[in-house]
A and B are shown apart, each in its own frame.
Chain A
Amino acid sequence: MKNTINFAAMVLAAAFAGALSLHAAAAVTSKQAAGKSGAQFTQSYTWYDGNREQRVWLNPQAVAEFNPGKFSTREARSADGAAQLLPMKRKQRGVRMWRMNNIEGKAVHGLATRNPAGKYSPVFHDGASSSDHMRALPGNIIVYLNPTWDAATVNSWIKKRNLEVAEKLEMGPNIYVIKTAPGLEALTTANEIYLSGEVAAAFPNWWEEVSTR
């Protein structure tokens, strides 16, 4: 009898502890969620800012358009008839954010196909919420090569990887801008180069939100 009571007590205690643990976990989750607003995203990507691994979440209901021209609205609505301008915390004239269905990237792909001169990108956030810091990919990546490489070694590496140099930056030795298309190609190319271990850094040319003070 005593053992049964003890066992039952243990079961009850375990259940109680489990409930407490669940409550604590829920409270922590609630703490993390406090203040979050807007849609919640599930698909994320990794990128590398120097040697710092970073994560961004894809917003499947938004598209960024860079250097918008006078037919910007017509182009956007050709991809999604319901496309509407997405409010930004602080507008920037060099970019326009569209609220449109971009599930599986179809809208961006379609826009880029119909308007090859245009620059469209999926929209990302630094957290899983649409209220988190927003960014997008206007194209090109920045690569920090081995600073001791001479010009011949640099050229050989670029040729081996079939890359095209947009410009050499003067802020340090062997820092180059490599051409890529806008959108995910910039992210995947930068990651592939960084993870090859052949470079000191490779990261996309990000567009980001910014605030005046």
Chain B
Amino acid sequence: MVLRLVLAVLVSVGLAACGGGGGETARTTRLAAPPNVTAVVGDRYLAIYASADPSATAVNIYWKVGTGVSKANGTKMEVSNDPQMHTGLTNGTEYCYVVTAVAGGTESGDSAEYCATPVAVDTGTDDPLVADQWHLENLAQRGANFSPPGLAGEDIRVRPAWAIAKGEGVRIAIVDNGLEIGHEDLVSNMAANGQSFNYVTYSSDPSEAEDDSDPGNGHGTSCAGIAAARDSNGLGGSGVAPRATLLGFNLLQNYTTLNVINAMGRSTDVSSNSWGSNDNTGLITPSPSGWTTAIESGINNGRGGKGIVYTWAGGNGRLGDANCTTCIDDSNYDGQANYHGVIAVAAVNDRGMQARYAEPGANLWVSAPGGEWCVDNSTGIEHAITTVDRTGALGRNSGSTSGDYSTTDKYTRCMNGTSSATPGVAGVAALMLAANSNLTWRDVKIILAKTARKNDAADVAGWGVTGGTTVYNFNHKYGFGVVNADAAVTAAAGWTNVPAQVIYPPVSPLAATSGTPIPDNNATGVYSDISVTGSGITSIEFVEITFTSSHNYSGDLDITLTSPSGTVSRLATQHKCLSGCIAYNGWRFGSARHLGEVADGTWRLTVKDLDPLATGTFTSWGLKFYGHHP
């Protein structure tokens, strides 16, 4: 008798401990209402944010005008995004919301009521997708599939810049595989009268062909949207320079030497280039002579002598190839991205950290948001870039593409890469030129470096400073940091142009021969010094380093340049190459690392062979400086 009573008590206690009020059984888990409901206020819209219980599979949002809303009396919204946009509202009217969590057919109780009032925003836009564009303003938005939120503030700080300029009167050429000139969110910004060009049909319309089913062929259209999608038209999102003029050139549909020369020489103010040699190979790829000559002509003669501003994708080759995960790239293995006449751009994600694919490099100038992937189970960071998409089912977003917007096929939230970062910087350059059209291409570069934001503070080992009188932060992952449109445009407006450029030596690089065997698989390596005197450069803008070695597996070599100020450029690190590494034979590296330093003094190139078997000699090297005085 006593035992049965004890058991009965134990069972009833157990049941009481498991159960709760509300008629739930002992085995039902209580689903909590979302604890934090907030909204971002916009012009005739509100963006509703709600963090759901981890066990929830969905949320419901109920709303009404005025207070006192509940799921019983509110209008239920169709929830398909986070944040969920509530558009078509009346400014000045209070809208109130409650949110419930849903899991397995069970709905939680109401959250606390949250009310907000949309208002007209003078420097903002009424574009419904702008709230998703964290790269413009990071409010800790989430990506697809309710992935963790980004880090508020990790963006390009463009909104304040729009109070000064929106790119009016500045032309941005998008050199890519096409540009849908009739897209609803681009058409108002397209250059008139045949300034664009199609390298296949030889017409002035570079739109993707209607039967072109390669989903990658919306790439140029998406880049154009990042740079200069129209703002305040109630459509899509906004470009970085929403009132700039767009030109499109589908060079990548017919990539010949002559077409490259033509595209690089087109009359424009800014040229955005999200392309290059294949990534994830580990190979060094020199820049073709025709391209180099065209860029030199552009920077010296374009824009009435002030020079075209070329932005260049730094490269996505950090992940390696499926067949060779150590065949990773450095941006300095790309003879176009490491050229002095371009702005090489790296990519960061919504936490302000190096995107998984983004290549490092001593040649990198600045970084900008490129995002990760919009569906990526491996990292949990599922947040890419929202921009325009080629209209229709053949674009990146067909309207039913996994992870992408389901209510439109004209926009995508899945654009990424240094391809996305590059037009972002092109847009900032356009804002700067709109604020001050007297800037030369060199002034634009220096202002971007000077005003870039030091991100990823946790990477203490990666950040260093330059060694000149004006000190810049530098990180081989990020260049001088994340582009800061607000600071850059403000600086541009009151900028005094830098003195004329000095190139030293004016023709062939300063050279030194070594002929020293590089010890195989040895962390000490060998070095050679060049003593520079009488350069006339007290403020370096860029350094070119040419290098020749008889070592026939260049991937074994770790190469660093040390300046007279003691700063170190990492030019190459040990890696594998997808189809066999070729020797460095007059290879040109580039370094932004020594911006502002004095050129005169002793420079040291150190070469180490960090992998066994292949061997060779440090044959020769050379230096060429771009800078000014004072």
Contact = CB atoms under 8 A, between A and B. Distances in A.
Interface stretch (B65-73, B114-122, B282-290, B530-538): B282-290
A67 B257 CA distance: 16
Interface residues of A, number: 48
Contact of A140 (B252, B258, B294, B577): B258
B293 A175 contact: yes
Interface in B533-580: 552-553, 576-580
B176 A35 contact: no
Given A90-B216, A92-B253, A171-B261, A52 B275 contact: no
Interface string B272-307: 001111110000011011100110110000000000
Interface stretch (A71-79, A151-159, A198-206): A198-206
B275 A212 contact: yes
B20 interface: no
Contacts, number: 138
State the majority secondary structure of interface residues on B: loop
State the majority secondary structure of interface residues on A: loop
Interface stretch (B37-45, B141-149, B156-164, B313-321): B313-321
B613 interface: yes
A132 B579 contact: yes
Given A36-B579, A212-B419, A170 B265 contact: yes
A93 B293 contact: no
Contacts of B275: 210-213
A132 B16 CA distance: 71
B412 to A, nearest CB: 15
A212 B214 CA distance: 13
Given A171-B261, A175-B293, A92 B255 contact: yes
A212 B580 contact: no
Contacts of B176: 212
Contacts of B501: none
B277 A93 contact: no
Contact of A142 (B258, B265, B279, B581): B258
Interface of A: 24, 27-28, 31-37, 49-50, 52, 67, 89-95, 127, 129, 131-133, 138, 140, 142, 144, 169-172, 175, 177, 201, 203-213
26 contacts: A31-B553, A31-B613, A32-B580, A34-B580, A35-B324, A36-B579, A52-B289, A90-B216, A92-B254, A92-B255, A94-B199, A94-B200, A94-B256, A127-B582, A138-B256, A142-B258, A170-B297, A171-B265, A171-B296, A203-B257, A205-B258, A206-B288, A208-B255, A209-B255, A211-B275, A212-B176
Interface of B: 176-177, 199-200, 209, 212, 214, 216, 219, 252-258, 261, 265, 274-279, 285-286, 288-290, 293-294, 296-297, 313, 315-316, 321, 323-324, 327, 417-419, 422, 552-553, 576-582, 586, 613-614
